[in-house]
Amino acid sequence: MINFNYETDFKLDSETQISKWITETISSEDHKLEEINYVFCDDEYLHKLNVEFLNHDTLTDIISFDYSVGKIIQGDIFISVERVIDNAKEFNVAFDEEVNRVIIHGILHYCGYKDKSDDEAKLMRDKENFYLGQLK
């Protein structure tokens, strides 16, 4: 089950299509979906979580709390719509593309992909691009 929650005025255009895409991505990575809760919020909301739970006093576009067990995917993903807007401008891409990249980025972390090293980040970006291409 995938739940979309909104703590800001933003709302996804096609929750059904995005849910199907996420589910297919998880399956393609040989994992099984249990439950994912997306929370779309503003910078202030996400900054508070970043300070409280991760002890990082910075702005970020996404924070994910992974409750997965083995290949059973479960977690909460918080996305700052304000950061996504700024990132889309900075990377000169459409907002929808950037929000979808962040959505799938969290899922890829749950599937075991990391992005701390240059090699890990490149693989993560390649996977993001591949799955963005699968979104119909």
115 is in an annotated binding site: yes
30 is in an annotated binding site: no
What pLDDT sits at residue 60?
Answer: 86
Report d(CA 32, CA 100) in Å as an integer.
20
> In this predicted structure, what is the pLDDT of residue 56?
84
pLDDT at 69: 93
Question: Is 31 part of any known ligand binding site?
Answer: no
Over the chain, what is the mean pLDDT? Answer: 93
What is the pTM assigned to this prediction? 0.91
User: Mind listing the domains of the chain with CATH numbers?
Assistant: 2-134 (3.40.390.30)
Tens-digit pLDDT profile for residues 10-55? 999 899 999 999 999 999 999 999 999 999 999 999 999 988 888 8
Q: Is the pLDDT of residue 102 over 80?
A: yes
